[in-house]
Amino acid sequence: MGLHGESLSLQVRIESLFAQAELADKAEARDAFFALRQALSDGDVRAAEPDASAPGGWRVNAWVKQGILLGFRFGVTVDQSADHGKWPFYDKDTLILKKPGLESGVRIVPGGSTARDGAFIGHGVICMPPMFINIGAYIGEGSLVDSHALVGSCAQIGKRVHLSAAAQIGGVIEPVGALPVIIEDDCLVGGNTGVYEGAIVKERAVIAAGTILTGSTPVYDLVHSRIIKPESGQPLVVPAGAVVVPGARAVTVGQGKEWGLSLATPVIVKYRDSRTDTRTELEAWIR
């Protein structure tokens, strides 16, 4: 039937089972989830994918998130403790850990990292401990997920992306139509950074340490003298090559002005150039 045909058939099955809610046949729902989990792990199916016709260049595959929810609903909580019970864990039997194997080319450095099966982790990805990658996430080849970094459910990370220590990439399963966070190819996401609520960071952008981006965050572009705001029903899009740093803007209403308050806000201070590229080549020697 071919890959496209198989995916379409799986989509039809999942949509039907999801519509039946708790009345769905348990065995059939679990079987559909297991097929989806394998397809996600292999990178054959994605929770969101590039689409030039969609806002921000990405579209959501809502049926994929419906399938993941089947895995939660029809899973049974079991003992998943590690090291002969010395590390106690209890989770749904449908949500097992990913074991990429040596042939995947993925490096998972010892120290307590976890990735759920149903996440795609591309060749050459480096996972520094401890970090966590949730189900439905996609990590492109050659990327680095640093210590204490989180890649939430269904988040899409491109190729050669550096997620620095304690970077938090938010996830989303519900509502099923919501766009997950997108970090495109060759981006640098600095330490203690948070990207949430379906924000899109376009290719080669640099998000400096401590910057917080959400789906409703206005970004002040000093270079082009504009304020980038998400349009109604559309995601926030950080432009390609933008260098975004944490900033502040004064509160000019109410007691805020009298008290001298300011609100944190991301600011684009420049667009990527050769000097920035040199500074972001951080992991060439550790591969």
Residue 286 scores a pLDDT above 70: no
The whole-number pLDDT of residue 282 equals 53
Hey, what CATH topology would domain 98-280 get?
Answer: UDP N-Acetylglucosamine Acyltransferase; domain 1 (2.160.10)
* Structure tokens belonging to residue 149: 């970094």
The whole-number pLDDT of residue 102 equals 95
Mean pLDDT of 88-105: 95
Distance between CA atoms of 164 and 171, rounded to whole angstroms? Answer: 17
Residue 49 scores a pLDDT above 70: yes
Amino acid residing at 74: F
Distance between CA atoms of 95 and 270, rounded to whole angstroms? Answer: 42
CB under 8 Å to 113, separation ≥6 — which residues? Answer: 127, 128, 129, 130, 131, 132
The whole-number pLDDT of residue 230 equals 87
* Structure tokens belonging to residue 213: 């981006």
Residue 264 scores a pLDDT above 70: yes
Mean pLDDT of 189-196: 98
Residue 47 scores a pLDDT above 80: yes
Report the predicted TM-score, pTM, of the whole model to 2 decimal places. Answer: 0.93
Long-range contacts of 90-98 (CB under 8 A, 24+ apart): 94/30, 94/33, 94/34, 94/37, 95/71, 95/135, 98/41, 98/133
Residue 90 scores a pLDDT above 70: yes
The whole-number pLDDT of residue 6 equals 75
Residue 115 scores a pLDDT above 80: yes
SS3 95: coil
The domain limits of the chain are 2-46+60-74, 98-280
The overall average pLDDT reported for the chain is 93
- For 135-191, how does the pLDDT look when each residue is reduced to its tens digit (9 = 90+)? 999 999 999 999 999 999 999 999 999 999 999 999 999 999 999 999 999 999 999
Q: Before 130, cis peptide (omega within 30)? A: yes
Mean pLDDT of 265-278: 85
